[in-house]
Chains A and B, each alone.
Chain A
Amino acid sequence: MKTKTPSKLEKILSAGHLAVTSECGPPRGSDPEAITKKAELIKDHVDAINITDNQTSVVRLSSLASCIHLKLMGVEPILQMVVRDRNRIALQSDILGAASFDIHNILCLSGDHQQFGDSAQGQNVFDIDSMQLIQTVRHMRDEGKFLGGDEIKRPPNMFVGAAANPFADPFEIRTPRLAKKIAAGVEFIQTQCIYNLDKFELWMQQARDRGLHEKAYIMAGVTPFKSAGMAKYMKNRVPGMDVPDDVVKRMAGVPKEKQAEEGINICVETIERLKECEGVSGFHIMAIEWEEKVPGIVERSGLYPRPEV
C-alpha cells in the first residue's frame, strides 16, 4: 500500500513488516524523566510508542506534552486522544498542537468513564465520539478543513488509528463495529489485550470474510501478566476483558516467584501464534508499568531487530 503520511509506523506496515508498538503511561507529576526513561528502555525494540491520555480517568501529565518529549528524543509517538475531556474546539486545537511538532500518529478513543478515576465528581464532555474523532482527523488532514468548514493552514498529517475490542459485548456487532471504524476512516487498529485466542481468531476470521484486514492494519494487543493475582483482577474487574479460566489456572499453577516469567511466556506464545493469523499486521505490547520486559518479549518473539525504513 502507498503511504499517505510521513508516519514511520505507516511506512513499516505498508512495507509488509510486522509492526511493533508499545505504550507508556505518563507520570502523576511533571517530571519529564518519568517518560523519557521508560521510552529509553524500549525505543530500540519498537517502531512507535503510544502515550496514554489520562488512562482510567486518573489525572496525569498530558499525552500531548509526553509525545513531544518522545519526539524530542527521536522516538516516534502515537498520540492517544480521548473524547471524554475535550470538546471539538479543544480536540482540533490539540491535533494542531501535535501536528506543529510533527507528531504523525493518533489513536482515537472514547476514554474510560470518569467515575473510575480520581475525579469521579467531574463532568465529562463527549461532544463527539471516537468514530467521529476518526472522521475529524481525516477531515482535517484530507480536506484541510476544520469541522466548522474553514481552511487549515498547514493541516495535520497524521496516520489515524483506533482501538478495537474483539471481546466486548454485544459480540454480534464486533465485526460490524470494526467495519464502521474503517468506514469512518481509520487506518490502523490496536486491539484490546488478547488472552482468549480462539475468540480473537474467530473475530479475525469474520474480519477477513469482509476483507477488513485489507482496509486497515490490525495490530494485536498483548499484555504480560505479572502475577496470578493480576490475571484474576483482569478477568473479574476490568470491563471488556476476556481472560479464559485455563489462562488464570496456568498462572496460578506456578510458584509465586515464577509467575512473572510464566506471564511473559504466555505473552510470547500469544505473539508466536498470532504471527500466523492472517490479517494480523503487528503487535501492540502493553506492559503496564513493566516496560523493561518489552525488549525481551520482542526478542523472544523473533521481532527483533526492527526494520529500518
Chain B
Amino acid sequence: MIVAKRKPIEEIIEEAQGYEKILLVGCNECVTVCEAGGKKEVAVLASALRMHFMNQGKDVKIEEVTLERQCDHEYLEELRNQIDQYDAVISLACGVGVQFMAEKYMSMPVLPGVDTCFMGVTEERGVWSERCQGCGSCMLAKTAGICPVSRCAKRLFNGPCGGSTDGHCEIDKDVICGWQLIVDRLTKLDKLDDYEVLMPIKDWSTERAGGPRKVVREDVMQ
C-alpha cells in the first residue's frame, strides 16, 4: 500500500487560514489501513480544526466525507454536486488522490492533509515500513526477493557496503541492512553462490529519472 503519515496540525491550520467552508475528504484505501487518512482520521482532524477555529472566535464550517478511493474518476465524481458549497478541500488521501482531486476540480483549492511517505507494509499495528520505490523494472528475481533499491540506503546492486554491522545499516541501528537480508535469503535458498554474479548497471530510465511515467494498456482500453 501507499503509506502516509498525519501532517502536523499546525501546518494544516496555517494552510487553511482564510477559508470559511472546508470539506475534509478521507480515502477508504491505503491511508485507512495505515491510519492516516481514513474516516476515523478525518473525524479526528475535523474535531481538532473545529476546536481551533472556535477558540479563535472564527466561524469556519468543517464538513467530512470519506470516498472509496481518490485515485479513480468514479469516486471523485461523487463530490461533483456538492463541492461548490465549499471554498477549500483538505484531502487526506495520499499525494496521488490530492492531485487527482485538484486536476478534476480546477477552481477549488485542494490542500494535503497527510504526508505521503512510501510504498510499504504493516509490520505490526502502528509500524509501517518501505518495500518498493516503483523503479519500473523489477529485479527481485535476482536478489532473493529483497529489493536493494528500497532496502539499501545506497541502493547498491552489488552490496553490502562496508558499513553493514550486525545486520544493521550504517545510517541507523534501527534500519536493517537490506544486503544482510539478501544474503540471509540466499543462504536459506541454498543459492549463496549467486551472490558472486555481478549485477549490471541499472537502466534508471523507467524510474523517476526518466520523467513522469505512464502505463498504457490498449488491450484493456475502452
Contacts and interface: CB of A to CB of B under 8 A. Distances in A.
Contacts of A128: 201-202
Contact of B158 (A111, A112, A127, A180): A180
B140 interface: no
Contact of A173 (B162, B165, B195, B202): B195
A169 B170 contact: no
A240 B163 contact: yes
A88 B170 contact: no
Given A132-B201, A169-B180, A183-B198, A113 B171 contact: yes
B90 interface: no
A252 interface: no
B142 interface: no
A113 B170 contact: yes
Contacts of A165: 162
Contacts of B156: 110, 126, 129-130
Nearest to A175: B196
Contacts of B201: 88, 128, 132, 135-136, 147
Interface of B is mostly: loop
A110 B154 contact: yes
B219 to A, nearest CB: 34
B165 A172 contact: no
A79 interface: no
A129 B159 contact: yes
Instruction: Among A111, A132, A239, find the residue whose CB has the most chain B CB atoms closer than 10 A.
Output: A239
A16 interface: no
A126 B202 CA distance: 11
Q: Contact residue range for chain B?
A: 20 to 34
Contacts of A130: 156, 158, 161
B187 interface: yes
B162 A168 contact: yes
A115 interface: yes
B196 A180 contact: yes
A179 B198 CA distance: 10
Interface residues of A, number: 35
A84 interface: yes
Interface in B128-166: 153-166
A192 interface: yes
Interface string A79-121: 0000010001000000000000000000000111101100000
B158 A239 contact: no
Contacts of A296: none
A112 B163 contact: yes
Interface of B: 153-167, 170-171, 177, 179-180, 183-184, 187, 192, 195-196, 198-202, 204
27 contacts: A113-B154, A113-B171, A116-B170, A126-B155, A129-B154, A129-B157, A130-B158, A130-B161, A131-B198, A132-B158, A132-B201, A135-B201, A168-B165, A169-B160, A169-B166, A169-B180, A170-B160, A170-B167, A172-B183, A176-B195, A179-B196, A180-B196, A183-B196, A183-B198, A239-B165, A240-B163, A240-B164
Given A128-B201, A132-B201, A169-B166, 9 more contacts: A113-B171, A124-B154, A129-B157, A130-B158, A169-B180, A172-B187, A183-B198, A239-B163, A240-B164
